């Protein structure tokens, strides 16, 4: 009887060790599932973040969707694999048999321990297996405590960590914070003849403010109406693509932290270089200084802008004398505003349109930016103002000039001189579309500069 009991104890110990092996293997399987899932998630997020900073909205959307699909499918696959590889006691015994080279001893003991009729060799089998118990100890059979899936997880974390500086590097121009004092509303001057009007890019915020004389605005309204009609006629697929682009852009901006910066209104001044019908006289009355212009094209719009004192110029009085007509889309509203502009009374009055307010604010703001704002201020009386508070970094600066060849000044018959196309690299402290900072001019030089502009 004691012999039988001892045999039972040996059998129990063998089964206990098999159970230990099973626990270890199942723990490793669980780790694999967790690590692989995390690796997929972290790697996917890192790549999506990088794509948000690097690619355009549609490419980013495609990559984001792809990563989402890969992550979901990967996690499902891992779940299936881990579930299929769930370690049963029989599998644990087979695994230990293979690892410890026990030639099926554990498998046999486990499979037949509950059998009522046992072979005369059963005791021998148990004794033989028990004698080799050190060979199939759990820590020996499955020594690994951490799953190998940890390596992909670490790689994914590293990838995600690298994607942050990589994304910053890739999106540096877009993400560069605006300097205080130089961050005025951006202004664009456009010739309406060359203005390519299309349905609004969904990627852009639809809050551009447009300045122009009434005739130009009327033309603009016509153009916009045509563009909207074309937009309505577009195929649904294009609209879907636009929606996708808009969604991707919003998501991309959220990831890049660019949301508020991009929604800043853009002020656009339109000019019509080739006016069709003659402009009503009221329009010219609207701008008393409309005679001489700094614009060689002589377009009414740009001339008006120059003499009205464009929004953001450094002419404090200009905005009060002739508030710039401002309108925004849609075209009906543009027409109304154009009609208002054509009547002299309101035009000469001090209409406090929002743009006018902004102009005044900009004009009075010592921190207002230079660049396009200053470019229109060629009046020698208003050349100088307080300097920008920010250090310029150096006493010199470079301006990128992209000049198209022109034959206006060449004599007829003579060969046209085509100047080489030159693109000067920007100063390290400068960025595209950034207004120039106003620098302090020594008092001794101010008279000289004034003389240059008075010529």
Partner 1 sequence: MNEAQSTAVAELPTIADFARTFRRIQAEIHKVIIGHEQAVEELLSALFAGGHVLIEGVPGTGKTTLVKTLGLALNLSFNRIQFTVDLMPADITGTRVILTSVEGRREFSFQSGPIFCHILLGDEINRATPKTQSALLEAMAELQVTVSGTTYPLAPPYFVMATLNPIEMEGTYPLPEAQLDRFLFKVRLGYPGEAELVRIIGSTTGPEEAGVEPVFEPHEAALRIEGLKRLVREVIVAPPIEQYAARMVRATQPANSRVLGDMHAPIVVDEVNRYVSFGASPRGALALILGAKVGALLDGRANIAYDDIDKVAAASLDHRIMLNYAAHTDNIDAAQIVQQVVKAVRASRA
Residues that bind partner 1 (CB under 8 A): 90, 94, 97, 103-105, 107-108, 110-112, 119-122, 124-125, 128
Q: 63 and 163 in contact (C-beta within 8 Å)? A: no
Phi, psi of 124 (to 5 degrees): -65, -40
Q: How far is the CB of 23 from partner 1 (least distance, A)?
A: 21
CA-based nearest residue to 41, from 22, 21, 67: 67
Q: How far is the CB of 9 from partner 1 (least distance, A)?
A: 19
Q: How far is CA 406 from CA 146, 420, 424, in A?
A: 72, 11, 19
Q: How far is the CB of 145 from partner 1 (least distance, A)?
A: 24
Would you say 110 or 221 has its CB closer to partner 1? Answer: 110
Q: How far is the CB of 134 from partner 1 (least distance, A)?
A: 18
Q: How far is the CB of 90 from partner 1 (least distance, A)?
A: 7
Q: How far is CA 445 from CA 248, 260, 448, 449, in A?
A: 52, 41, 5, 6
DSSP result, 71-83: HHHHHHHHHHHHH
Would you say 94 or 302 has its CB closer to partner 1? Answer: 94
Q: How far is CA 215 from CA 225, 228, 266, 429, in A?
A: 15, 20, 21, 40
Q: How far is the CB of 247 from partner 1 (least distance, A)?
A: 48
Would you say 90 or 157 has its CB closer to partner 1? Answer: 90
Q: 96 and 16 in contact (C-beta within 8 Å)? A: no
Would you say 122 or 251 has its CB closer to partner 1? Answer: 122
Would you say 98 or 266 has its CB closer to partner 1? Answer: 98
Q: 49 and 235 in contact (C-beta within 8 Å)? A: no
Q: How far is the CB of 97 from partner 1 (least distance, A)?
A: 8
Q: Determine how many CB atoms are found less than 10 A away from the CB of residue 238.
A: 12
Question: Strand 267-271 relative to strand 326-327: parallel, antiparallel, unpaired?
Answer: unpaired
**Which two three-digit tokens encode residue 360?**
């005044």
Would you say 112 or 204 has its CB closer to partner 1? Answer: 112
Q: Which residues contact 15 (CB under 8 A, 6 or more apart)?
A: 109, 110, 113
**Which two three-digit tokens encode residue 176?**
């560069």
Would you say 8 or 357 has its CB closer to partner 1? Answer: 8
Judge if the upstream peptide bond of residue 330 is cis by omega within 30 degrees of 0: yes
Q: How far is the CB of 122 from partner 1 (least distance, A)?
A: 7
Would you say 110 or 170 has its CB closer to partner 1? Answer: 110
Q: How far is the CB of 103 from partner 1 (least distance, A)?
A: 4
How many Å apart are CA 213 and CA 324, to the nearest integer?
8
How many Å apart are CA 435 and CA 424, to the nearest integer?
17
Q: How far is the CB of 110 from partner 1 (least distance, A)?
A: 8
How many Å apart are CA 422 and CA 120, to the nearest integer?
99
Residues written for the chain: 455
How many Å apart are CA 90 and CA 94, to the nearest integer?
6
CA-based nearest residue to 324, from 381, 362, 379, 369: 362
Q: How far is the CB of 124 from partner 1 (least distance, A)?
A: 5
Would you say 131 or 330 has its CB closer to partner 1? Answer: 131
CA-based nearest residue to 208, from 329, 352, 301: 329
Would you say 97 or 242 has its CB closer to partner 1? Answer: 97
Q: How far is the CB of 202 from partner 1 (least distance, A)?
A: 55
CA-based nearest residue to 311, from 350, 282, 268: 268
User: Which residues are registered as beta bridge partners of 210?
Assistant: 268, 327
Place of tokens 């201020």: 377
């Amino acid at each position: 009887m004691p012999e039988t009991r001892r045999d039972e104890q040996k059998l129990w110990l063998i089964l206990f060790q098999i159970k230990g092996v099973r626990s270890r293997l199942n723990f490793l399987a669980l780790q694999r599932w967790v690590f692989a899932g995390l690796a997929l998630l972290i790697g996917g997020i890192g790549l999506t973040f990088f794509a948000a900073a690097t690619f355009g909205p549609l490419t980013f959307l495609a990559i984001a969707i792809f990563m989402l699909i890969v992550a979901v499918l990967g996690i499902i696959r891992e779940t299936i694999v881990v579930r299929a590889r769930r370690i049963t006691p029989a599998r644990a015994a087979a695994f230990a048999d293979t690892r410890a080279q026990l030639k099926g001893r554990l498998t046999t003991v486990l499979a037949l321990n509950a059998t009522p009729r046992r072979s005369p060799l059963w005791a021998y089998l148990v004794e033989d297996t028990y004698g080799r118990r050190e060979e199939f100890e759990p820590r020996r059979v499955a020594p690994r405590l951490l799953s190998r899936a940890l390596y992909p997880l670490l790689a994914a974390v590293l990838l995600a960590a690298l994607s942050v500086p990589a994304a910053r590097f890739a999106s540096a121009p877009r993400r560069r914070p605006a300097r205080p004092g130089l961050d005025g509303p951006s202004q664009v001057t456009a010739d309406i003849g060359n203005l390519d009007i299309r349905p609004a890019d969904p990627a852009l915020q639809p809050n551009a403010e447009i300045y122009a004389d009434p005739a130009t605005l009327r033309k603009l309204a016509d153009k916009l109406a045509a563009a909207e009609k074309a937009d309505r006629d577009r195929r649904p697929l294009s609209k879907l693509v636009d929606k996708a682009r808009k969604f991707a852009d919003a998501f991309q901006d959220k990831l890049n932290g660019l949301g508020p910066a991009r929604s800043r209104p853009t002020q656009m001044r339109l000019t019509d270089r080739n006016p069709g019908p003659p402009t009503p006289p009221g329009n010219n009355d609207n701008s008393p200084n409309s005679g001489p212009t700094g614009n060689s094209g002589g377009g009414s719009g740009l001339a008006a802008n120059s003499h009205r004192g464009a929004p953001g110029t450094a002419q404090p009085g200009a905005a009060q004398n002739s508030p710039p007509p401002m309108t925004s889309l849609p075209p009906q509203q543009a027409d109304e505003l154009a009609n208002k502009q054509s009547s002299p009374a309101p035009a000469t009055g001090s209409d406090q349109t929002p743009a006018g307010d902004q102009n005044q604010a900009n004009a009075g703001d010592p921190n207002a930016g230079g660049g396009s704002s200053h470019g229109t201020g060629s009046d020698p009386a208003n050349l100088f103002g307080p300097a920008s508070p920010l250090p310029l970094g150096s006493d010199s600066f470079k301006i990128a000039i992209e000049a198209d060849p022109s034959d206006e000044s060449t004599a007829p018959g003579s060969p046209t001189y085509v100047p080489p196309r030159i693109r000067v690299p920007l100063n390290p402290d400068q960025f595209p579309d950034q207004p120039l900072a106003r620098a302090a001019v020594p008092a001794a030089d101010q008279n000289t500069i004034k003389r240059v502009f008075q010529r």
